């Protein structure tokens, strides 16, 4: 099942391709053309992570590492194709609210930042990727241990690497 999506906290709309695997996982691929949303391209590593996520213990907060724990009810395992990593992302609440319970040492801001073509919205931890690369460690620190700030459309999204 695939659908187009846009990242909406940016100046220019970025069309994304969402591919839903099972009930709790989404793969997102950046594409400049919304008509490309009929394609599917799932990375083998992501499929493996999804296959084993149900035998892991549950996360204790939102936005945790889907490679180590199963996502909480109401969250989906999101992987952005073209960027390394994945994250458990909750659906946005009333008035685009997002859960504030983030993993230990995370200072990135929970934001309702993703929306698919059917109107479903998802929260992400937004961070600020930096140049020069020497400052990237500071951006990664906002995402907490084992996560890093990945640049997309002038913003950054915290993800965990396998």
What does the pLDDT look like over 152-162, one tens digit per residue? 878 899 999 98
Among all chains, which residue has been given the structure tokens 């400052």?
A: 135
Q: Is 75 helix (H, G, I), strand (E, B) or coil?
A: strand
Task: For residue 42, count other CB atoms closer than 10 A to its CB.
Answer: 16
pLDDT of residue 57: 57
What predicted TM-score, i.e. pTM, was given to this entire model? 0.65
Between the alpha carbon of residue 85 and those of residues 1, 66, 79, 80, 93, the distances in Å are 21, 9, 6, 7, 24
Tally the domains of the chain: 1
Cβ atoms 129, 149 nearer than 8 A: yes
Higher pLDDT, 145 or 29: 145
Q: Which two tokens stand for residue 7?
A: 């990242």
- What digits encode the pLDDT tens for the residues 130-159? 766 667 888 899 999 999 999 887 889 999
pLDDT of residue 141: 92
User: Does the pLDDT value for residue 33 go beyond 90?
Assistant: no
C-alpha to C-alpha distance for 38 and 20, rounded to whole angstroms: 12
pLDDT of residue 54: 39
Task: Give the range of the structural domain holding residue 99, as residue numbers without chain letter.
Answer: 2-160
Higher pLDDT, 71 or 34: 71
Q: What is the mean pLDDT of the chain?
A: 71
User: Does the pLDDT value for residue 43 go beyond 50?
Assistant: no
Between the alpha carbon of residue 46 and those of residues 29, 77, 81, 94, the distances in Å are 13, 9, 10, 30
DSSP string computed for 103-122: PTT--SEEEEEEEETTS-EE
Higher pLDDT, 38 or 123: 123
User: Does the pLDDT value for residue 55 go beyond 60?
Assistant: no
Cβ atoms 25, 89 nearer than 8 A: no
């Amino acid at each position: 099942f695939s659908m187009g999506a846009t990242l909406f906290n940016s100046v220019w709309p970025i069309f994304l391709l969402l591919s839903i695997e099972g009930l709790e996982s989404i793969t997102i691929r950046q594409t400049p053309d919304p008509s490309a949303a009929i394609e599917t391209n799932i990375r083998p590593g992501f499929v493996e992570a999804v296959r084993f996520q149900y035998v892991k213990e549950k996360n204790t907060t939102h936005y945790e590492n889907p490679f180590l724990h199963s996502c909480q009810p109401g969250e989906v395992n999101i992987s952005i194709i073209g960027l390394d990593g994945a994250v458990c992302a909750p659906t946005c609440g009333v008035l685009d609210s997002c859960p504030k319970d983030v993993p230990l040492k995370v200072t990135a801001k929970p934001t309702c930042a993703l929306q698919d073509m059917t109107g479903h919205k998802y929260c992400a931890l937004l961070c600020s990727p930096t140049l020069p690369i020497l400052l990237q460690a500071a951006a990664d620190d906002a995402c907490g241990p084992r996560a890093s700030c990945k640049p997309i459309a002038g913003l950054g999204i915290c993800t965990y690497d396998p």
